[in-house]
Amino acid sequence: MDDFYTTRNRRTLTQAEGYLELDMPRHALEALARLRHTGVQDPHAFYLRGEALRSLEHYEEAIEPLIRAGEVVPENMHVWLALGWCYKRTGKIFLAIDALERALFAEPDDALVVFNLACYWCLAGAKRQSLTSLSRALELDESYRDLIDAEADFDSLRDDPDFRSLISVVV
């Protein structure tokens, strides 16, 4: 009987994943609600629940399952990135920075994480850390340069000479 529940749970998780890929987070949550409890807490189920809630812009509610997923699988950069996203949108910028630092520990050369960290440091008023992270993100993936003008998180630095110098570098 345990094999049945395990197989069923795997299919349910795959279904929830598919719903998220199709941008159907409510359906993903419905699928996750059908999981059979086997006594084992599945970090992937926590992550999918957090992602579904994040997609629905229920950021505060998404934090708890994402934290639980991160506790079990701390090397999953995607968990920390999603958690940082939620913390930022709930006004907890230093917790967002901490989450992205954990993502960076898991994936030190991920340009998306480093770019978002630059944004969050800027929002925290930490110019030096922001510029250091932005420079690193551009070093990792020059295409992030195209996102800077539209990124409101950098508004407080727009007139800063160091920022202007960094973004005007022609490669």
Is residue 55 located within the same domain as residue 126?
A: no
Domain membership of residue 73 as a residue range: 1-104
Full-model pTM: 0.89
Per residue in 99-152, pLDDT (tens digit) is 999 999 999 999 999 999 999 999 999 999 999 999 999 999 999 999 999 999
Is residue 81 located within the same domain as residue 117?
A: no
Is residue 22 located within the same domain as residue 81?
A: yes
Which H, E and C letters describe the chain, residue by residue? Answer: CHHHHHHHHHHHHHHHHHHHHCCCHHHHHHHHHCCCCCCCCCHHHHHHHHHHHHHCCCHHHHHHHHHHHHHHCCCCHHHHHHHHHHHHHCCCHHHHHHHHHHHHHHCCCCHHHHHHHHHHHHHCCCHHHHHHHHHHHHHHCHHHHHHCCCCHHHHHHCCCHHHHHHHHCCC
Is residue 100 located within the same domain as residue 114?
A: no
* Averaged pLDDT for residues 35-41: 66
Tell whether the model's pLDDT for residue 37 goes beyond 60.
yes
Is residue 58 located within the same domain as residue 135?
A: no
